[in-house]
Amino acid sequence: MEITSEQVKLLRDKTGAGMMDCKKALAESNGDMDKAIDYLRKKGAATAEKRADRATNQGVIESYIHAGGRIGTMVEVNCETDFVAKTDDFKAFARELAMQIAAMNPLYVSREDVSKDMIEHELEIYRTQAKNEKKPDQVVNRIAEGKLEKYYQEFCLTEQIYIKDSGKTIKDLILDLMAKTGEKITIRRFKRFHLGENS
């Protein structure tokens, strides 16, 4: 199937990927735009893993104030070079994260930040709930593990559903930006303030 330059341009506009990558993605997916986008995202994820050991010492600290000054957030987002840190895409991503934190109140950056003690504490609660609901013993652990996954999705920033697109998680946004910039992107830390609450 012949891939037209218009298709390549459209895919490039949608994903920010390079021309040759877009052409290859369309060829691999027989011109299907959605499949081509998935192809590029998977490629971005694969490339992201290759970048896992790269240092991210550049970036921005972004802040956001919401609800008439009642909620405020600060987030540090890192990349590899000052050049990428100054791009509109990177700054916009940091801004979206600050808004996400204000809206969704995560407790951790990722599941790796949840302590073993906290995980065991949550699992114990979920097991007890399942037993109290008279669930069979053989499924109690499976139910607890399932609820733990939901806990991660609720309280870990990278696993949360993006507030502006329910089809994406914050991790998806990071992978998309990594594919676009060609750099490793990390969220180092964040803080959320709510007027009158103890931190």
Give all domains of the chain, ordered by start, each with its CATH number: 5-50 (1.10.8.10), 58-110+156-194 (3.30.479.20), 115-154 (1.10.286.20)
Largest CA distance in the chain: 62
Given the structure tokens 């802040």, which residue do they identify? 63
Contacts of 40 (CB under 8 A, 6+ apart): 11, 15, 17, 21, 22, 25, 179
pLDDT digits (tens, 9 = 90+) for 112-130: 999 999 999 999 999 999 9
pLDDT of 52 reads 61
Give the integer Cα–Cα distance in Å for 46 and 75: 26
pLDDT of 34 reads 87
Q: Which two tokens stand for residue 141?
A: 């652990």
- With 0.85 as the threshold, say if the pTM is over it: no
Average pLDDT, the chain: 89
Report whether pLDDT(185) > 60. Answer: yes
Q: At what angle do helices 19-28 and 5-15 cross, to 10 degrees?
A: 110
DSSP for 8-75 reads HHHHHHHH---HHHHHHHHHHTTT-HHHHHHHHHHHHHHHHHHTTTS---EEEEEEEEETTTTEEEEE
